Structure 1
Amino acid sequence: MRAYVPTGKAHTGQSPIEPHVVLAELPQPRLRPDEALIKVEAYSVNRGETFKLEEPGASWRPGKDVAGLVVQQAADGSGPEAGRRVVGHPMGAGWAEYAAVPTSALAELPDAVSSPQAAALPLAGLTALRLLRAAGPVGGRRILLTGASGGVGHYVTELAAAAGADLTAVTSSPERGARLRELGAATVVHDVADASGPYDLVLESTGGSALPVALSRLRRGGTLIWFGQASRTPVTLDFFDFFKGPESATLRHFHYMDFPESYADDLAALVRLVATGRLHPELGRVTDWADTADTLVDLRERRIRGNAVLTVS
């Protein structure tokens, strides 16, 4: 089969370091008893994967978001049968014609959900769903969301607004802000410093200088949940700043994998929301998988709004 693998090389030029992948011939995956073999029809690429490609490790292959067809059911009899359309969340190796996916990370797809839509769900959708679950009830609460123009941000905006939150989205451009308003954002600003608090909850994914500014917008006793580091810049906090506003505030770190719920159940919930028109994957780019390398660069350089999906021809 054909699959994308890291070259382990990067070059510097006028642009920042750009990770590289190459299409290679590999054997089909060897399945564990609880894994199904999926013929991949579409996969999504994530900005975090572009960073990991800089130092990929000896055996790592990218690809955590796939949609396609079960061609071999898991040997232990679990999960969807052969011939079923599915969305899956393997831990890697999904940028390929075939992928091995644990049945605990598979959900069946109805006809109403296309493979490109489904491929945009796993990492971004699971992160958004579980982030809001970690935040607790959001109805009637004022929320500040930084880094809102990516796939996670779009899902968080739509889900939180549907639950009754008053959400302020921080995004880089008016065009991206217009779409977030359509999804339910009450307010859009282009710099976190322009956000008018106080907020009950801050969902922060930028890091660097943005996190202390976002923290200062919290009400007394509010909560900031840190779930990303898009700026790749370390955060410096002066804890005396708490006395200037967000006294008794709570800071939490979040990672979507730190939850007992199964991926399969949460993927099924996301699929159901899409199928019933209550969640809309933001497909910023859908193109043939031959364009994977160029798409990685554009995603890293923030030239793609929402999710980038490659279809396997």
Structure 2
Amino acid sequence: MNAVILDQDNQLINVNVDLPEVKPNEVKIKIIASAINPIDYQMRENEFERRYLYSPILGREGAGIITDKGSDVSEYAIGDEVFFACGSMGSNGTYAAYIQLPAGLVAPKPKNISFEQAAALPTAGITALQVFDRATINPQDHIFLTGASGGVGLFVLKLLLANGIKNIVATAGSMSSIEKLHQLGLQKDSIINYRKENLTEIIKRRSNQQGIDVAIDAVGQHLSEVAAAVLKPYGTYIDITHFTTTAARDQLFSSAAQIINISNFTHAQRLNYPYFKNGLDRIRHSIEQEIIQPAPIYLIGDLSAETIEKGHLMLKNNQTQGNKLIIQNQ
């Protein structure tokens, strides 16, 4: 099959590879569309993220059609349309024409959206759901959300709004991203360009100098320091990035903050397929019932090293304008 691999020189190259035989508990999926995520380029640059590199074929989520299945698989038929989060649990990543996955990692594609839209949902959606499953967020709480127009941040924002939580201050990095967040229901004065020098003071004023109850950080680095600075004593800091700075950690300790680290890795490491399956089913329900709308997407190109390299650079340079980058694999 056609695939793009990361070679020993950390370069993306086009190759042709063979897949092993389908195992009894697996399905083989023809990937119609897949998404590019920040972790894909971070694994090329960051030692911590590199530990998640299990295959030279990167890519962590997609949507497609089942073309074969193992003898133990009864819940799916050949031809079924599905979407999935593979993490490190499949035959390879999604920068490929096909993937083989345990059937427990797959769910029926939402009926009312395209393959391309479905491919944008699994990783961000499952991560965002973990935020709500593990943190107590009340309607009256003041929320600070960094990276609100990014994949996870946008899904978190949609869930906040769907649950009646309105006291939200969010950051974005461009006028187009700010406009998209406004269209979702945020007031424009609650959407702040993260490049503003007085960002901390602006956020404090939005909470009437009372401090933020819950900071949800989907960016890290400098914004982790801002989030820590605006959090009230005993507030909750939710870390989705593992990119907090030393200064942020010191501030969080000083304010006796509750820190919740959000990661799907522990579930992948333990092969906790029901965790991923449950998340996918919840996402599908939310989309089909129109509780939330699918993420905005940008079709970046076909399956090739050139397309993926372009996508990695766009993510790294914050040039996605709030869109999820999607590869059309077929």
| TM-score band, normalised by shorter chain | 0.7 to 0.9
Q: Kindly provide the CA deviation profile for residues 25-52 of structure 1, in whole angstroms up to 9, marking residues without a partner as x.
A: 0002433322210011000010111121
Structure 1 match to 2:324: 307
Tell which deviates more after alignment, 56-65 or 82-91: 56-65
| d(CA) in 2 for partners of 1:167, 1:136 | 15
| Residues 127 and 64 of structure 1: CA distance in aligned 2, closer, same or farther (over 3 Å) | same
In structure 2, what residue type is equivalent to 1:225? I
**What SS does structure 1 have at the residue aligned with 2:30?**
strand
What corresponds to 2:284 in structure 1? 271
- Take 2:111 and 2:294, find their aligned partners in 1: how far apart are those partners? 16
Structure 2 residue matching 1:124: 3-state secondary structure:
helix
- What's the secondary structure of 2:7's corresponding residue? strand
TM-score by length of 2: 0.82
Q: Which residue of 2 aligns with 1:181?
A: 182
For 1:28, what is the secondary structure of its paired residue?
Answer: coil
Q: Please say if residues 120 and 307 of structure 1, whose CA atoms lie closer than 8 Å, have aligned partners that are also in contact.
A: yes
Structure 1 length normalisation: TM-score?
0.86
Query: Quick one: structure 1 residues 253 and 177, their matched pair in 2 at CA, closer, same or farther if it must change by over 3 Å?
Result: same
Partner of 2:168: 167
**Distance (whole Å) between structure 1 residues aligned to residue 168 and residue 251 of structure 2:** 27
- Structure 1 window deviating more from structure 2 (288-297 vs 32-41): it is 288-297
- Which residue of 75, 83, 86 corresponds with 2:82? 86
1:33 aligns with 2:24: yes
Going from structure 1 to structure 2, the CA distance change for 1:238 and 1:4 (only over 3 Å counts) comes to closer
How far 1:262 sits from its partner (Å)? 2.0
How far off its partner does 1:241 sit?
7.6
Partner of 2:296: 283
Which residue of 1 is the match for residue 259 of structure 2? 251
Where does the alignment leave 5 or more consecutive residues of structure 2 unmatched?
none
Match of 1:49 in 2: 40
1:164 deviation in Å? 1.3
Q: Which residue of 1 aligns with 2:95?
A: 95
**In the superposition, relative to structure 1, how do residues 248 and 52 fare at CA in structure 2: closer, same or farther (>3 Å)?**
closer
The 1:241/1:4 distance shift into structure 2, 3 A limit, reads closer
CA distance in 2, matches of 1:183, 1:58: 37
Q: 1:73 to 1:43 in 2, by over 3 A?
A: same
Q: Aligned pair in 2 of structure 1 residues 152, 2: CA closer, same or farther (>3 Å)? A: same
The partner residue of 1:292 within 296, 308, 311 is: 308
Name which of 230, 247, 254 aligns with 1:236. Answer: 247
Tell whether 2:69 aligns with 1:73.
yes
Aligned pairs for 1:8-157 within 5 A = 8-9=8-9, 20-54=11-45, 59-90=55-86, 91=88, 92-157=92-157
In the alignment, residue 48 of structure 1 is paired with which amino acid? I
Is the Cα–Cα contact under 8 Å of residues 151 and 324 in structure 2 kept in the other structure? yes
| Structure 1, gaps ≥5 residues long | 11-19
Secondary structure of the 2:63 match is: strand
Check the 8 A contact 1:169/1:188 in 2, yes or no.
yes
Question: Structure 1 50/83 Cα, relative in aligned 2: closer, same or farther at 3 Å?
Answer: same
Contact residue 162 and residue 292 of structure 2 kept, 8 A: no
For residue 262 of structure 1, what is the aligned residue in structure 2? 275
Residues 154 and 183, structure 1, Cα contact 8 Å, conserved in 2: no
Distance 1:42 1:219, change over 3 A: same
Deviations 1:93-118 (A, max 9, x none): 21111101121111012431210111
Considering fraction of residues, name the structure with more helix.
Answer: 2
Tell me the matched-pair count: 299
